[in-house]
Chains A and B, each alone.
Chain A
Amino acid sequence: MAFLEIKDLQVDYATDEGVVHALNHVDLELHQGETLGLVGETGASKTTMAKCIMRLLPQRTGRIHSGKIIYQDQDLLQASDQEMRKIRGAHIAMIFQDPMTSLNPVLTVGEQIAEAVENHRHCSKAEAMRRAEEMLELVGIPAQRVGEYPHQFSGGMKQRVVIAIALACDPKLLIADEPTTALDVTIQAQVLEMMQALKEKLNTSMLLITHDLGVVAQNCDHVAVIYAGEIVEYGTVRDVFKRMSHPYTRGLFTSIPQVNADVKRLIPIPGMMPDPTQLPAGCKFCTRCQFADDRCRREHPGLYPVEGIHTARCFRLEKGGSLT
């Protein structure tokens, strides 16, 4: 039984330029205690997915067309605002991309952590503050800095504070939306290591959104590759990395520099993401795919099994074929 189940999720944004098809019939499962990596390039609707689970899509433009997000037998998309408020922070917490802007500049970090605690545990201010100090220590910041303001912290420290806020109420699921993208490499490693350790300690499940396959390899159990609002490949990290079965996943790998091979030039994926207001009728990747034929442009491929739970959305896998 999956812990979080996304079924047939379809999300649009209504903009002046037309309707942006952000998520197209997405199905995804997340199990207790596991880390699922969600990989894709900018504009692939990774953040939309995260905000959708939290029900934080922009109200004016974002529209959820169809689908279900089932968490503990409850469809989050049907939950009332009040029910959602109880779930946010306490059950499902989120870490945002840019720590520079995701903390309120006029409140102390302690107040910002304590706010989450007070809100869900209905405890006194002093108790919430004590919990805030505890959380700061947990993410490696001395507790006496509890009364300081965000501008007194460095970028990596701020992200630690953001993580402390997210974990303050022991959530069961942590959604991390590119938690290390805005940080420099040495700090990235520190933050990820810490997140991994805390996740194991608190037995939290995690949805890790990233465009960095290295991060996925190190931190995730399962991985879902998303392209133009569609899951194109899904499986355990081991399977997907060993036997990449979608041309897009392949493209992602060949565009990473390898330390142990003598490669003169990287092979990028040619072309650009298709305009999300006018997605191709067939396979969404057909405009950039070296294997694309007429059928790919006409028909939309389903997810075909590769091995076990490993699936990919490519006609070449029909009848058990392989990519190469």
Chain B
Amino acid sequence: MWRYILKRLVMLIPVMLGTILVVYFIMDLSDVDPARVILGDAATEETVAQLHEELGLDDPFLVRYGRYIWDLLHGDMGQSYTYHTAVSDQIMQRLPNTFLLAGTGILLSVIIGIPIGVLAAKKQYSLFDNVSMVLCLFGAASPAFWIGLVLVLVFSLHLGIFPASGMGRGFFGVLRSLVLPAITLSLHSTAMAARTTRSSMLETIRQDYVDTARAKGVSESTITVRHMLRNALIPVITAVGLNFGVLLGGSVLTETVFAWPGIGRYVIEAIKLKDIPSVLGCVVTLSVMFTVVNLLVDLLYAFVDPRIKAQYKQGRGRAK
């Protein structure tokens, strides 16, 4: 098991190198001159050239890429062009907020989506099943920015229950301001979780071991949780795990709509201001998070299904 984890962590390295290469390359293709961004429009040709020299901007692409990687390994993501502070500090400041939002989003989708899926499957073709599945279709299909705006319109402007934007102070302040963005963010993944749970449950409901459990005289609730849901959970974990990536992407939109001080909003700001080190730093952070979550999901499989655990132990475990 530990060998498997180690192997997966080692595999993180080429993935990260590749990701950074692609992003670095795209940033390089844009005709943004960092020196001009830093110095402003009033800068003379000479000062610009001088800064080019200082920052090594005229070095070949691979040299600059190598330098960035080297600095990154030392925990240095460079200086933000706009804030004139270390990018890593900026990110560390915002990362907890993004985690809070994305975490709440995932939590909501799990505690709402899975029970809906279970109930819909248990009462297949019932009114509840039909209504909830139509709602899920709606949830999966409607874009986050639109849902966000509608929620703001109803709950902030008309009803005035929740703040429209920003992050409140104190525990309850944060909680109040968290409600709308978290719902917006989780809607899609809640719908996905519910739909996946339903279809996966429908498969396990017909399994022979469910009849075996019934023949033991076990109560229906135990059968549902212990025998059906636990077996139905693997595809659900996959769906929720993959959705975490979508959620990170979605947080860019949601954080912008709700002016939530997280990484998503930071990256949009940075792109607008052509703050290349900040953009790079954010992309690196987000992709590390995504890969780590993927690893956690794979480990969770082993926790749920002993057959997968046995595979990992034999070292035959395949990475996704």
Contacts and interface: CB of A to CB of B under 8 A. Distances in A.
Nearest to A51: B211
Interface of A: 51, 54, 56, 84-90, 93-94, 96-98, 101-108, 112, 115-116, 119-120, 149, 151-152, 162, 165-166
Nearest to A175: B215
Most-contacted residue by chain B among A56, A102, A151, A152 (CB, 10 A): A102
A102 B214 CA distance: 11
Nearest to B211: A56
B231 interface: yes
Contact of A107 (B208, B211, B226): B226
A94 B210 CA distance: 13
Most-contacted residue by chain A among B207, B209, B310 (CB, 10 A): B209
A104 B213 contact: yes
Contact of A119 (B212, B218, B227, B304): B218
A47 to B, nearest CB: 10
Interface in B263-320: 304-307, 310
Contact of B216 (A97, A105, A116): A116
A195 B124 CA distance: 39
A120 B217 contact: yes
Contact of B209 (A89, A104, A120, A152): A104
B7 interface: no
21 contacts: A84-B217, A88-B215, A88-B217, A89-B215, A89-B216, A96-B211, A96-B212, A96-B215, A101-B208, A102-B208, A102-B209, A102-B212, A105-B209, A105-B231, A106-B306, A107-B230, A115-B213, A115-B216, A115-B218, A119-B218, A151-B306
A94 B218 CA distance: 13
A62 to B, nearest CB: 13
A90 B218 CA distance: 11
B219 interface: yes
A119 B230 contact: no
B126 to A, nearest CB: 11
A56 B215 contact: yes
Contacts of B304: 106
Contacts of A112: 212
B213 A94 contact: no
A96 B213 CA distance: 11
Interface in B16-68: none
Given A98-B208, A103-B212, A104-B227, A116 B310 contact: no
Given A107-B226, A107-B230, 6 more contacts: A87-B217, A88-B214, A96-B212, A101-B207, A104-B213, A104-B226
A104 B307 CA distance: 12
A112 B217 CA distance: 12
The size bracket of the interface on B is 20 to 34
Nearest to A92: B215
B305 A105 contact: yes
Contacts of A115: 213, 216, 218, 226
A96 B305 contact: no
Nearest to B124: A60
B231 A54 contact: no
Nearest to B218: A119
Nearest to A111: B226
A93 B310 CA distance: 32
Interchain residue pairs A-B with the least CB separation, the first 9: A89-B217, A88-B217, A116-B216, A101-B208, A89-B216, A104-B209, A94-B215, A149-B306, A102-B208
A149 B307 contact: yes
A164 to B, nearest CB: 12
Contacts of A166: 215
A320 B269 CA distance: 99
A180 B227 CA distance: 24
A120 B307 CA distance: 29
Given A107-B226, A149-B307, A151-B310, A102 B216 contact: no
A106 B208 contact: no
A90 B307 contact: no
A173 to B, nearest CB: 12
A104 B210 CA distance: 8
A104 B305 CA distance: 11
A107 B230 CA distance: 9
A97 B230 CA distance: 23
B258 to A, nearest CB: 40
B209 A119 contact: no
A165 B219 CA distance: 16
A120 B215 CA distance: 12
B129 to A, nearest CB: 13
A108 B219 CA distance: 19
A120 B304 CA distance: 27
Contacts of A94: 215
A250 B213 CA distance: 38
A29 to B, nearest CB: 22
Contact of B212 (A86, A104, A106): A104
Given A106-B231, A106-B305, A151-B307, A90 B208 contact: no
A108 B310 CA distance: 13
Contacts of A119: 216-219
Most-contacted residue by chain A among B208, B226, B304, B305 (CB, 10 A): B208
Contacts of A88: 214-217
Contacts of B219: 85, 119
Contact of B217 (A90, A96, A162): A90
A290 B102 CA distance: 75
Contacts of B215: 54, 56, 88-89, 93-94, 96, 166
Contacts of B217: 84-90, 116, 119-120
